[in-house]
Amino acid sequence: MEGTFCSHSFKFLLILLAINSYINFSSAGRQIAPQSSAEFIRTSCSSTTYPKLCFETLSTHASLIQTSPQLLAHAALNVTLSTTESTSAMMVTLSKSHGLKPREAEAMQDCVEELSDSIDELRKSISEMGQVKGSNFGLMINDVQTWVSAALTDESTCSDGFQGNNMNGNVKTAVRTKILRIAHLTSNALALINNYASLHG
Ligand SMILES: *[C@@H]1O[C@H](CO)[C@@H](O)[C@H](O)[C@H]1NC(C)=O
């Protein structure tokens, strides 16, 4: 008799626990829902030089980023890399187009090389970012900061090549606009990496 009573109350207890954890689970679920991740991204982006671009390009990855400064920096590098790759591909196509002045074609080719270096540096950074942990945090994050800064330098070197007066205005504007976007994305990624680094300092 007593055993039956026990097992009844045990079941009742289990049901109570289940209901309770269901309630807890759903309210916890609400906390990590897109809303708060979007807020986290907005707040983090506000410390970058180009907050609007930062939020626009990263909020679409909110479900992956959640509220992790590491994933945010990682996503920023991902976005920068894919934009740099597509711009580089566009430049290769442009550099082969007819009607370019030799000076323009040359600047275009130099730029493709600079972007290719930049892509290497971003790829190295992304792979290191995925491995950053524990005892070697400082060294690894330092590497990432160095490579991303180098990528930024390569991008501005590319952009500098398009300053001459003897260039088609449309070509110049198109290229500079694209490169500027990459440079701004890179600068934001660096700011988010620095922010992540400072949390572990
Ligand atoms: C970065 O890109 C890789 C490869 O596409 C992907 O697996 C990873 O989930 C991305 N990480 C973030 C935080 O966006």
Q: Quick check: CB of 57 below 6 Å from ligand 1?
A: no
Distance 82 CA to ligand 1 centre (A): 11
17-74 pLDDT per residue, tens: 454 554 444 444 444 444 599 999 999 999 999 999 999 999 999 999 999 999 999 9
Which residue puts its alpha carbon closest to atom 13 of ligand 1?
75
Burial of 118 (0-12, 13-18, 19+ CB in 10 A): buried
Confirm if 70 and 198 have CB atoms less than 8 A apart.
no
Query: Which tokens belong to 59?
Result: 């909020």
Distance 78 CA to ligand 1 centre (A): 6
User: 3 phi and psi, to 5 degrees?
Assistant: -60, -45
88-129 pLDDT per residue, tens: 999 998 888 878 888 888 889 999 999 999 999 999 999 999
| 6 vs 109, more confident | 109
154-193 pLDDT per residue, tens: 999 988 888 877 778 888 888 899 999 999 999 999 999 9
60-92 pLDDT per residue, tens: 999 999 999 999 999 999 999 999 999 999 999
pLDDT value, residue 15: 52
pLDDT value, residue 133: 77
Ligand 1 atom with minimal separation from the 126 CA: 1
Ligand 1 atom with minimal separation from the 77 CA: 1
Which residue puts its alpha carbon closest to atom 9 of ligand 1?
64
Check whether 16 has a pLDDT greater than 70. Answer: no
Which residue puts its alpha carbon closest to atom 5 of ligand 1?
78
Q: Quick check: CB of 78 below 6 Å from ligand 1?
A: yes
pLDDT value, residue 23: 45
Which CATH architecture group holds 37-198?
A: Up-down Bundle (1.20)
Domain ranges of the chain: 37-198
Distance 180 CA to ligand 1 centre (A): 23
Q: Please, which contacts does 152-155 make with residues 24 or more away whose CB atoms are closer than 8 Å?
A: 152/183, 152/186, 152/187, 152/190, 154/114, 154/115, 154/117, 154/118, 154/121, 155/84, 155/114, 155/115, 155/118, 155/179, 155/182, 155/183, 155/186
pLDDT value, residue 188: 98
Q: How far apart are the C-alpha atoms of 155 and 178, rounded to whole Å?
A: 10
What is the value of pTM for the model shown? 0.81
